């Protein structure tokens, strides 16, 4: 899709998000949404954010991703709440490195932000992939209740796998499947 088509689509999408957030589909609110969407797109264009990278949305996989994320969100909230209301600290804190399979900015950002939004975890740093050196993108995640490092790492990698299947291109999905099937990455 060319950027000439993507810009109006992005403005339309942002306007709809605006209208849904306000739960108001009046002409005045839609006009305000268009103005704000245009300002956002014009500000973001020089940064390289717009036009957007080619992205696919796979609806069923997106539902699976968000369901898994919401489950993790509820589970971690319950764990943190239990830690707060019970006497004594059983926290086993650590910063773990999680090498990712897909190194595109969108997927890394989605996974990093999803990790950070989950109570008890925080993405503290991201090392970009270096294709020439053959090093993957790495998320450094602070975990309050680490338990088993391999399980904590596997949880982040599952989030990545679901994100790629939900929002990745065919090439990214193929790269993920190849990387996980040949054993070169965890």
Interval 27-69: pLDDT, tens? 999 999 999 999 888 887 665 554 455 567 888 999 999 999 9
Supply the pLDDT for residue 50: 46
d(CA 47, CA 174): 29
Residue 183 gets the label, from left (phi > 0), alpha (psi -120 to 50) or beta, of: left
pLDDT digits (tens, 9 = 90+) for 116-172: 998 889 999 999 888 888 888 999 999 988 778 899 999 999 999 999 999 888 888
Supply the pLDDT for residue 2: 47
What average pLDDT does the segment 9-28 reach? 90
Specify whether the CB–CB gap between 102 and 157 falls below 8 A.
no
Asked if the model's pLDDT at residue 1 lies above 60, the reply is no
d(CA 91, CA 146): 8
Report the candidate in 174, 98, 168, 176 with the shortest Cα–Cα distance to residue 140: 98
Greater confidence, 53 or 80? 80
Q: What is the dihedral of CA 154, 139, 65, 47, to 10 degrees?
A: -170
Query: 118-151 as b/e, with b when 16 or more CB fall inside 10 Å?
Result: bbbbbbeebeebeeeeeebbbbebbbbbbeeeee
d(CA 44, CA 48): 7
Supply the pLDDT for residue 147: 79
d(CA 122, CA 83): 17
pTM for the whole thing? 0.70
């Amino acid at each position: 899709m060319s950027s000439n088509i993507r810009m109006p689509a992005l403005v339309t999408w942002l306007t709809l998000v605006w209208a849904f957030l306000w739960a108001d589909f009046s002409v005045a609110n839609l006009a305000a949404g268009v103005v704000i969407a245009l300002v956002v797109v014009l500000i973001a264009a020089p940064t390289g954010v717009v036009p957007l990278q080619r992205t696919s949305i796979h609806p069923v996989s997106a539902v699976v991703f968000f369901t898994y994320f919401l489950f993790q969100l509820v589970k971690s909230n319950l764990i943190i709440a239990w830690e707060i209301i019970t006497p004594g600290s059983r926290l086993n804190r650590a910063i773990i490195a999680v090498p990712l399979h897909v190194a595109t900015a969108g997927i890394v950002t989605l996974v990093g932000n999803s990790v950070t939004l989950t109570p008890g975890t925080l993405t503290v740093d991201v090392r970009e992939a270096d294709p020439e050196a053959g090093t993957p993108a790495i998320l450094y995640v602070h975990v309050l209740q680490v338990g088993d490092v391999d399980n904590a790492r596997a949880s982040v990698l599952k989030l990545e796998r679901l994100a790629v299947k939900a929002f990745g291109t065919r090439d990214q999905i193929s790269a993920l499947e190849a990387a996980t099937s040949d054993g070169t990455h965890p």
